Amino acid sequence: MSGSDIWADVNARLALEEAPGRLSALPIGQRRRRGAARDADGRAKVELVRDEDGLLRWVYSPPSTPGGTGRRSYRAIRVAPADVVQSFRFNDFGANAVTDKLIAADGWLTPDQCMQRWQDGRLVDDVQPRIDQGRVLLLVHGTFSRSQMWFDELQASEAGSKLLASWQQKYSAILAFGHPTLSVAAWSNALDLHRALQNVSAPIDVVCHSRGGLVVGWLMRLRAVPVERVVFVASPLVGTSLAAPDKLRAALDLIASYADAVSKVSAQATGILPFAEGVSLLAKIFGKVLQLGSTTPVVDAAVGLVPGLATQQLVKNNGDVRQLFADPWLSTPKMSGIGAAFQPDESAQPIWKFWRRFSHVGDQIKYGAADLVFPGPNDLVVDVDSMFRLGEGGNIAFEALGVGPTTHHTNYFRDERVIRYLGDQLSMQH
């Protein structure tokens, strides 16, 4: 999939463009009035625009009204038609509809929200499996993802296929937990996970990616379960800067730029499509709340309306993180983790030029502080410093893959070092 196609594919798959609502279209008499906006049909608009540095920015335009453009008291950046990568109109909605929109977004991004079992080369629903013999492997995905991700990514390489085959020989069952990642907090996912595991008494090994690590952490914090080993892959154990309230507008721009760049430099970019879909849905839901593209400063507090993001805020007053580590966990498995810091070779791949806008590097100051998301090394979604910390009480055993231009948040399971690490960790004596 080429970069020029990924946004067209997102538009087609999500049906982001909406026809004017029954009550939003203007009467013909109003449309004919002098000065009335030609497109004043009651719809709002979101555009994804590329700037001179290759950064993609979301721009929200409020619904046009008779005799005006809908921009009173709203100063937005100017958009040249040639710079628009993606554009869609939709019927605007009030803040009281946000939760419903998030639930719908989760339903699209993660359609199979239940426990599933890998069986005969495919996932089948097994909502409350009963397993008391052998050993179980549990896989838990992250934000914007679904359980099928594990098998698509592992089977994309020879090393990953061999690892999956070895797991099928070793484990009496391979389970994958599908869960909504936007509309509910990680601790709520953990309660659902415990309910799904209540008939499993066999020992469990767990591999979790990204926000899935928080779900597993909350499971162990709240319930005594037969989990003996957990491997965290790029998990924001104490949160991620990407979810900090004051960074949300820049974070949406970053995710869009990230998805766009991956689709252009990778021949195997299927793992990034859910991120492109997820950020498009969030831009639609929060365009008005955040005044995306507005030159007028706003308080980016909308992250509090997204429980799945709020639980991941890397801020000192994150109550969820404080509670996660406030008391000893009821389950105490052996824990380890792995992660990488992404830093592109801009001379070889100039498409990553925008990276400097979001990362704390020597000359970032020349771009201004508005876009800065990460204060230190990161994989473009999670701060490396957050991948191994258990609150203020200690760290997990962690293998840092170092700084490099190839491994980032959505392609860990195509990195042979990660495949080898997972094989080694899950082959250790228990």
Write down the pTM of the prediction: 0.91
Confidence of residue 303 (pLDDT cuts 50, 70, 90): low
Distance CA 219, CA 217 (A): 5
Which pLDDT score is estimated for 42?
80
346-392, pLDDT tens digit by residue?
888 888 988 888 887 665 555 455 678 998 899 999 999 999 999 98
* Mean pLDDT of the region 11-18: 89
As a whole number of angstroms, the distance between CA 283 and CA 206 comes to 33
Of residues 264 and 388, more confidently modeled: 388
Residue range 60-74: average pLDDT? Answer: 61
> For 134-143, how does the pLDDT look when each residue is reduced to its tens digit (9 = 90+)?
999 999 999 9
The pLDDT value recorded for residue 239 is 95
Query: pLDDT for 170-198, tens place per residue?
Result: 999 999 999 999 999 999 999 999 999 99
- Does pLDDT of 301 surpass 70? no
When pLDDT is cut at 50, 70 and 90, the band that residue 52 belongs to is confident
In the prediction, which pLDDT does 364 show?
Answer: 52
pLDDT at 412 over 90: yes
- Listed residue (101, 68, 291) closest to 180, CA to CA: 101
pLDDT top residue among 80 and 365? 80
Determine how many CB atoms are found less than 10 A away from the CB of residue 174: 20
State how beta strands 204-209 and 227-233 pair: parallel
15 or 294, higher pLDDT: 15
Give the integer Cα–Cα distance in Å for 288 and 59: 10
Average of per-residue pLDDT across 95-100: 79
Interior/surface letters 360-392, b for 16+ CB within 10 angstroms, e for the rest: beeebeebeeebbbbeebbbbbbbbbbbbbeee
pLDDT at 418: 98
Residue 164: name the closest of 121, 123, 201, 197 by CA: 121
pLDDT of residue 237: 97
Task: Identify the pLDDT of residue 245.
Answer: 80
The number of angstroms, rounded, from the C-alpha of 136 to the middle of its chain's C-alpha atoms is 27
In angstroms, the CA 197 to CA 194 distance is 5
Position 298 confidence tier, pLDDT thresholds 50, 70, 90 = low
Q: What mean pLDDT comes out for the span 217-246?
A: 95
Predicted pLDDT of residue 30: 47
Query: 82, 1, 85: which is closest to 262 by C-alpha?
Result: 1
Confidence category of residue 119, pLDDT binned at 50, 70, 90: very high
Structural domains of the chain, with CATH = 104-240+312-425 (3.40.50.1820)
Residue 102's pLDDT is 92
How many beta carbons lie within 10 A of that of residue 137, not counting itself? Answer: 20
Residue 394 pLDDT exceeds 80: yes
The count of C-alpha atoms lying within 13 angstroms of the C-alpha of 188, restricted to the half-sphere facing its C-beta, is 13
Residue 36 pLDDT level (bands cut at 50, 70, 90) = very low
Average pLDDT, the chain: 87
In this prediction, residue 385 carries a pLDDT of 95
Q: At what angle do helices 248-265 and 273-290 cross, to 10 degrees?
A: 150
139 close to 79: Cβ distance less than 8 angstroms: no
CA 133 from chain centre, in angstroms, equals 35
Look at 195 and 308; give whichever has higher pLDDT.
Answer: 195
Higher pLDDT, 293 or 241: 241
Q: Kindly tell me if the per-residue pLDDT of 213 is higher than 90.
A: yes
Scan for tokens 């258990």, then name that residue.
390
Which of the four pLDDT bands, split at 50, 70 and 90, describes residue 268?
low
Quote the radius of gyration of the chain (alpha carbons, Å): 22
- Name residue 90's beta-bridge partners: 44
More confident position, 232 or 265: 232
pLDDT of 31 reads: 46
pLDDT at 3: 45
Residue 2 has pLDDT above 50, yes or no: no
On the CB side of 99, CA atoms within 13 Å amount to 5
Question: What percent of the chain is helix, strand and coil (3-state, nearest 5)?
Answer: 40, 20, 45
